[in-house]
Structure 1
Amino acid sequence: MTHEELTRLLDKLDLDQKVRLLTGTTNWRTADEPAVGLRGMTMSDGPAGVRGPTWDETDTSLLLPCASAIGAMWDDDLVGELGSVLAAEARRKGVDVVLAPTLNLHRSPLGGRHFECFSEDPELTGRTGAALVRGIQAHGVAATAKHYVANDSETDRLTVDVKVDERTLREVYLAPFEAAVRAGVWLVMSGYNRVDGVPLTESPLLARPLKDEWHFDGVVVSDWGAVRSTEASARAAQDLVMPGPAGPWGDALVRAVEDGRVPSAVVDDKAGRLLRLADRVGALHRPTTLPTPPRQEARALLRRAVAAGSVLLGNRGVLPLDPATLTSVAVIGAHAAEPRVQGGGSAAVHPHRVTTPLDALRADLAGTARVVHAPGPALTAPPPLSAPACRDPHTGRGGVRLRVLDGDGRELYAGHHRTGRRLEPPLPPGARTVEISALLHPGTGGEWTFGVGGFGRMTLTVDGHPVVDGVFPCVSDDPAVVHVNPPCHYGTARLTAGRPVLVLARRELADGTGRATLVTAAPPRPDPAAAIREAAEAARTAEVALVFVGTTPHSESEGRDRTTLALPGHQDALVRAVTAANPRTVVVVNSGAPVEMPWRADAAAVLLTWLPGQEAGSGLADVLFGRTEPGGRLPTTWGTCLADTPVTTTRPEEGVLRYGEGLHIGHRAWLRAGRRPAYWFGHGLGYTTWAYRAAAVSAPAQGGVRTVSVRVRNTGRRRGREVVQVYLARPASAVERPYRWLAGYAAVEAAPGETATAVVRIPDRALRHWSTEERGWRTEPGGYEVHVGPSAGELPLTASVEVPAEGSPRAAGERLPRG
């Protein structure tokens, strides 16, 4: 759309019409405006799958690996393909704007939303995010870079004031957003938090650097409910308030413009940006069409993505397994049968399907090897009511009955649902009560635990006997708590095996408390010590043992930070018992963020699968049986224990969270502290080995880009892929710098015995630093070290770059491996 066309459209609108465009009309939709042929645009959460505008379990979504797994791929092309899947899903669901990618950093391993962010490093995060943006927007669907900026933890996230110096902000936390803007992103989401005392929705950072320096011509949309002022946010470069229809702009903004407190040109700019976005996504003309690939084709890509993001942390020759020679396998742990495939919070979707590791292993080994599953100790809080144990009392189908009642108990809505998980019923006029019921057929007898989640007055009865009864006030205004993860309240009832009981939960609706409701039930938990003994015995009699451990929805979720890196429950004891029983034990870690692994030296192999999405089992089986390599490299440094980790703070003091470590997060912090982690940033093994032969640095080409050419040789017996990483250092710097910092990377493939050359592009900006005195970017003249290798902690090759005083860098030769 040209500037002239945009001006003509704006001239057709009066002030009321323009302002109306600037607040959503529903939770997920922007305003229509017939005067200019504008239809409303639909938004959806989408970091790991496009949910659509409703939480409807019948409207399933393709579920990608979590962002940590995508960051672990170090593969721009594959990330772009995954972006195309998100775009196709968006078009299929009538979604114009996908609220992804999340470009916040893994500043602290305790960050609760770790799984939704790519990495600890601004360069890796920026490249990965840019690739996803390009993949989504290539098909006329908008991507959203979020949450701008320094929104890297969850504690007090609606009010926290982040104190960060200007140089750190520019070089570390703003850098991934700048990369997204260079990639052409169409929306940027402003966060809930403050930076240096100013809410992001009112911050001058929205103008400079976002719009003024980077020339961002898209829309700044607020995080949901983040705008809390009229004039301050309107005068800032905030463009769109979500959700709607209520909000602080509307009539109040019209009056502020009419009274001269907000310039009319400000509203024109915001409305113009909305119209430009509408043009890009096809909301001002015939909708963009995108052929939706067959789901079988998309599933194949998601299966490949599981392997591409899986990181082999250690391997003493046990992997890959040969299914033709295996005779018995012990599959141990609750995560084998019920893997965590996505993180908790607003980004969650109802997956199209989930392949579990246990099912995939049984399918691969059917007829050739005995597969025994020992679940080990129970891990989680009671799960939601669901089939096959529960049936709808009205229809007899597996699942639950959901009803909405008025104040006199009359039925306004009734429907069948497969589970009692986070049900969000429609609210017809007069709705007063949500009711969920199910006939539970207990397979075991004893003391069962039941729960009902939500706010306000709630009751839960089992065959008419009260189990939960009380008024539970809403004490949070965090949308993730109110609308996504309301707390559960529990009680117990003694059941007889095989004797069905009617479970009935009711919740009275009240303003400001949301409508999400859930009902849970769990049988008596087995004795942990007995469950561990059973698992160890299964491992002892098997040829190989596969132990699955990981986090739970209650230990890793949006809305709260973690307080420990220890695995929940008795999982460490489970691994120790199994490794003691069988030296050929492979431990599979199913988490979105670092966990402590005190047993890692005892395991024959440790494989990290993150939260791998719907193809969890099939993709994992491909790796375990060697049909494909584990392609991932760590996007985050994993420490031995929390006490060793240099940067851990997530909790503000008196409302303020200080980024006192400055430039030094992730591997930079470990290097500065002189500490050795369990696994370095960039680490990951394949099924072959590599030798680094030589590295040479080119003179800068046009635009200041230079290349580092790295020769590597496949010294193993399989074809493989190696991610060659280049780090820079400036020991004699006159300004503070990281000990080393990632400057670029490239992947190569080679057959056994072959040599390949990785060409790593090092842009001019990799040598720059932000000068707070001169308020601009500067390149310090002098020598820079170039370090090359497979991780931040293993860099066998060195070279150098000399930047002369006139600012034109030149290569300074080549060196062979040290030692």
Structure 2
Amino acid sequence: MDVEELIGRLTLDEKVALLSGTGWWHTTAIERLSIPSIRLSDGPNGLRGTHFFDSTPSACLPCGTALGATFDTELAERIGRLLSDEAHAKGAHVVLGPTINIQRSPLGGRGFESFSEDSVVSGVIAGHVVRGIQESGVSATLKHFVCNDMESERMAVDSLVTARALREIYLLPFMLAIEIGKPRAVMTSYGKVNGTHAAENSHLLADILRGEWKWDGLVMSDWFGTYSTSEAINSGLDLEMPGPTRWRGEALKHAITSNKVKAFALDERVRNVLKMVKHGIENTSIPPNAPEAQLNTPEHIALLREAAAKSLVLLKNEGNVLPFDPKKTMAVIGPNANIATYCGGGSASLRAYNTVSPLEGIRQYASDAVFSQGAYGHQMLPLLGSQLQTVDGKRKGFTLRVYNDPPPSEGAADARQIIDERVLDETNPWFVDYDNPEKAEVWYAEAEGILTPASGGEWEFGLAVHGTGELFIDGELIVANKKNQKPGTCFLGSGTVEEKGTKVLEAGREYRIVVKWGCSETSDLKVSGGVDFGQGGLRFSGCPKLDADAAVEEAVKVAKSADQVVLCIGTSGEWESEGQDRPNMALPPGTDRLVAAILDANPKTAVVVQSGTSVAMPWIDQAHSVVQAWFGGNECGNGIADVVFGAVNPAGKLPITIPRRVADNPAALSFRSESHRVLYSEDVYIGYRWYDALDIEPLFPFGHGLSYTTFDLSDMELLCGKEKSNARKSAATDKNRTLVIGGAEELLVNVQITNTGSRSGAEVIQAYVRPPAPTPLTALARDVITRPAKELKGFAKVSVGPGSNSTAQIKLDVLRATSYWSETEDCWRSDAGVYSILVGTSSRGDFLEQEFELPVTRRWRGLRPHMEE
């Protein structure tokens, strides 16, 4: 493809057509000029392919927070390569990820997608994921640019953030990831930033991203996240997604003929789309409109298991409760024990090849492990798909039939024509990208399957819809969800609450379940404040009713009878999901009661918490051993088991701060849309910076994580690295000497790490910089610049054998490590003065410390620091 030649040959209609998608996942082809379509696909947790509805199974990675917890750049690159392999299998030229927004609060519904509360961790890990994705020609997409940090009124909310916080906290991850990985695409945020939607924000897209940073890739909107015609084009939004267009087409042609959009601006947008198409076709082996395939190779399975285990953070291990002995009796208890909590909710969720629950993983080591439920942890009732069979008994799942006509009245024969029929195994089909040329504007579906309950008694059934629906069992109406509907959280906030009904069932008897459903057009309930993705969906579910008291009592008996207990608790993709923020940090109802009872029954209990962000732990002082296990992907259960039994020595570190209570977190007073705006009132004091500045003791600090071995840090030294002349400077610090840095661009921090225990292990060495400036609470003058007490500027993960030592080296860019954004000068500024490097294994605790001095103040702009004369 000759991009410039094509631009000259394209008609106005063809240029306009190129600037919006065709359907949900493809760019537009121009057949006359042999310009093919390329495919885009979610995303940050794995490659879905071309469908939410009836999607092809995929490899699901540990969630973003889990990957951030590894602090492992080499692993991040390998994860990127896995995503690239999956992209080839799914025929996707562009991966919609990674997500590198900042976790302002533990209540963020999509917090699990992001890597960290810290900009450096987020940007560095993202940059290496991008490297891995793009090695084989697939393109990565950084998202969401920028300040897409909560779900509250996410399309309309105006994020009011200072220029300094915008630069130091929210744009910095994008700077680092672009510098390290050179991603070829960026996706804009849904909301506004300082008064203007990100998708038409010329300051962000034209001035900073393209102008100051000189980045020349493709900018696309989030799905339905375009809000204008001329403004978006002129600001730099290349591609509106999905198609068909809402804002381009005839409206854009009119804007061009009326000179609201200049010809050169149109051509620049077209150029960026064509460059992406050219790269996808010429630099991968992926043909246009490729069929989707499955990989699930042994190598990928092993990598997913490794990543799951390496992401686990050992928060507490008093008395060396862990690791457990597989030869001793084992109990596995809790709402997350017998299910695979492998993924958060929303567009990052996937239909996994296979998932492993903690109980399944543990039984690979201790086959006689006894299970007890103890409590339910679901928000909505569990999906029924795994318990259903088709009416003919030949397949697992249920039959879905699609019609253009509504169900017949009671007693009448069903003479409707079936326009589509398929067998599904997940009872939450979302038809957002369902395409059927025979389908009318208003259409209907019917789901039918056979339930044979393993246990009898009273069952509870649920039905949530985007549309209208009724659930029948053997012809009896059990749940109706058609009239007086209430808005709920399912289908990214487009659906209703789950309506429920009960029926007494007999164990072993077959029951015919039928759900009669009408598309979103049949409902009077309309989405408010979110994205109406259209067409609709249905979710039907059920499980035996649980007597809470009896369940806890039974679990306590099981715990008392075992030598050791793994107690699996946490949230899930229902509690943490795109489209909704969490109301609080609480675990699901009944969980804390169960934990307290089990800890009282057996002190040899390891509490395994699966969540994407922080949860409240009111029982923490009672617990001897606690593991943060995140949403661990396909192999989550095996990763948990590998750590619990010591096959893997835990080395994960918290990429977030876990507060004692939600009121302690920096965004506690400003994490919601009020009058259509949110004030980023914590400014640059996000995460650990806030806890340091206000001297608030967190439950567990940023960077914290224990091991089954112990480490000692010693012999810290600072060295000047590259000079402007590329010469080396050999001067090093000693304990009583301050290193004076003149023209050096790089500062090398060397630390000796000794494994003082009996197991091989890995430690994450963290280098923080303390500036020569007061914090807000220590400043005496009103006009001085205040800064956080310390900020993470680099890290290194080092593996050390028992009794051995190694040298960890962290390379710091001198200017970047010492700079803040000067709002008065509109540039980065590195002030002269004496700085300190603090080296430790978390943001709290003991540090090795050395000083260095900058003799002159320097200023810089652009993607990466450069010395000004």
One fold, TM greater than 0.5?
yes
The alpha-carbon distance between structure 1 residues 808 and 392, as it changes in their structure 2 partners (threshold 3 A), is closer
Equivalent residue number for residue 737 of structure 1:
787
Contact 2:462 2:542 in 1 (8 A): no
Equivalent residue number for residue 492 of structure 1:
502
1:790 aligns with 2:857: no
How far apart are the structure 2 equivalents of 1:64 and 1:662? 32
Equivalent residue number for residue 681 of structure 2:
660
**1:239-388 maps to which residues of 2 (within 5 A)?**
239-282=238-281, 287=286, 295-321=297-323, 323=325, 326-366=327-367, 370-380=368-378, 381-387=380-386
How far apart are the structure 1 equivalents of 2:587 and 2:285? 51
1:392-416 Cα distance to aligned partner (Å, 9 max, x none):
1255422111000122632111111
1:553 aligns with 2:594: no
1:201-230 Cα distance to aligned partner (Å, 9 max, x none):
110211121000111111110000011211
Equivalent residue number for residue 422 of structure 1:
429
How far apart are the structure 2 equivalents of 1:562 and 1:430? 37
1:506 aligns with 2:516: yes
Contact 2:519 2:536 in 1 (8 A): no
Using the TM superposition, name which of 103-112 and 373-382 deviates more. 373-382
1:297-344 Cα distance to aligned partner (Å, 9 max, x none):
1100111101111101111243543546x3200111121110310001
Contact 2:455 2:506 in 1 (8 A): yes
Which of residues 577, 591, 606 is equivalent to 1:586?
606
Which of residues 796, 800, 822 is equivalent to 1:750?
800
- Look up the SS of the partner of 1:545 in the other structure: strand
Contact 1:12 1:35 in 2 (8 A): no
- Look up the SS of the partner of 1:664 in the other structure: coil
Q: Which amino acid aligns with 1:802?
A: E
1:803 aligns with 2:813: no
The alpha-carbon distance between structure 1 residues 97 and 675, as it changes in their structure 2 partners (threshold 3 A), is same
Equivalent residue number for residue 813 of structure 1:
none
**1:668-747 maps to which residues of 2 (within 5 A)?**
668-702=689-723, 704-732=745-773, 734-747=784-797
The alpha-carbon distance between structure 1 residues 319 and 292, as it changes in their structure 2 partners (threshold 3 A), is farther
Contact 2:315 2:628 in 1 (8 A): yes
The alpha-carbon distance between structure 1 residues 477 and 134, as it changes in their structure 2 partners (threshold 3 A), is farther
Segments of structure 2 that go 5 or more residues without pairing to the other structure are 407-415, 522-531, 725-744, 775-783, 861-869
- Look up the SS of the partner of 2:568 in the other structure: strand
- Look up the SS of the partner of 2:337 in the other structure: helix
Contact 1:330 1:542 in 2 (8 A): yes
Contact 1:32 1:39 in 2 (8 A): yes
1:99-155 Cα distance to aligned partner (Å, 9 max, x none):
101010111111111110000000110101101111101111111100110110111
Which of residues 806, 812, 821 is equivalent to 1:770?
821
How far apart are the structure 2 equivalents of 1:499 and 1:285? 53
- Look up the SS of the partner of 1:411 in the other structure: coil
Contact 1:339 1:590 in 2 (8 A): no
Equivalent residue number for residue 557 of structure 2:
537
Which of residues 192, 195, 201 is equivalent to 2:193?
195
How far apart are the structure 1 equivalents of 2:508 and 2:489? 41
Contact 2:57 2:294 in 1 (8 A): no
Which of residues 426, 446, 460 is equivalent to 1:435?
446
The alpha-carbon distance between structure 1 residues 420 and 530, as it changes in their structure 2 partners (threshold 3 A), is same
- Look up the SS of the partner of 1:335 in the other structure: coil
The alpha-carbon distance between structure 1 residues 45 and 430, as it changes in their structure 2 partners (threshold 3 A), is closer
Q: Which amino acid aligns with 2:463?
A: V
Q: Which amino acid aligns with 2:817?
A: A
Q: Which amino acid aligns with 1:196?
A: N
Equivalent residue number for residue 225 of structure 2:
226
Q: Which amino acid aligns with 2:301?
A: R
- Look up the SS of the partner of 1:407 in the other structure: coil
1:84-111 Cα distance to aligned partner (Å, 9 max, x none):
0001001111011111010101111111
Equivalent residue number for residue 95 of structure 1:
92
Q: Which amino acid aligns with 1:523?
A: C
Q: How far has the Cα of 1:6 moved from its partner?
A: 2.9
Equivalent residue number for residue 392 of structure 1:
390
1:597 aligns with 2:617: yes
How far apart are the structure 2 equivalents of 1:95 and 1:710? 43
How far apart are the structure 2 equivalents of 1:620 and 1:173? 32
1:267-324 Cα distance to aligned partner (Å, 9 max, x none):
1001111111122222699648999987101100111101111101111243543546
How far apart are the structure 2 equivalents of 1:643 and 1:633? 23
Contact 1:683 1:791 in 2 (8 A): yes
- Look up the SS of the partner of 1:459 in the other structure: strand
Q: Which amino acid aligns with 1:412?
A: I
* TM-score normalised according to structure 2 size: 0.88
Contact 1:358 1:617 in 2 (8 A): yes
Contact 2:310 2:650 in 1 (8 A): yes
- Look up the SS of the partner of 1:61 in the other structure: coil
Equivalent residue number for residue 817 of structure 1:
none
Identity %: 35
How far apart are the structure 2 equivalents of 1:808 and 1:203? 26
Contact 1:452 1:517 in 2 (8 A): no
Using the TM superposition, name which of 509-518 and 562-571 deviates more. 509-518
Q: Which amino acid aligns with 1:406?
A: N
Contact 1:693 1:712 in 2 (8 A): yes
Q: How far has the Cα of 1:456 moved from its partner?
A: 3.1
1:69 aligns with 2:66: yes
How far apart are the structure 2 equivalents of 1:249 and 1:473? 37
How far apart are the structure 1 equivalents of 2:484 and 2:37? 35
Contact 1:452 1:490 in 2 (8 A): yes
Q: Which amino acid aligns with 1:606?
A: V
Q: How far has the Cα of 1:617 moved from its partner?
A: 1.6
1:608 aligns with 2:628: yes
Q: How far has the Cα of 1:612 moved from its partner?
A: 0.4
- Look up the SS of the partner of 2:597 in the other structure: helix
- Look up the SS of the partner of 1:601 in the other structure: coil
Contact 2:827 2:859 in 1 (8 A): no
Equivalent residue number for residue 411 of structure 1:
418
Q: How far has the Cα of 1:504 moved from its partner?
A: 1.3
Using the TM superposition, name which of 547-556 and 193-202 deviates more. 547-556
How far apart are the structure 2 equivalents of 1:754 and 1:138? 35
The alpha-carbon distance between structure 1 residues 718 and 455, as it changes in their structure 2 partners (threshold 3 A), is closer
Q: CA RMSD in A?
A: 2.4
How far apart are the structure 2 equivalents of 1:171 and 1:732? 16
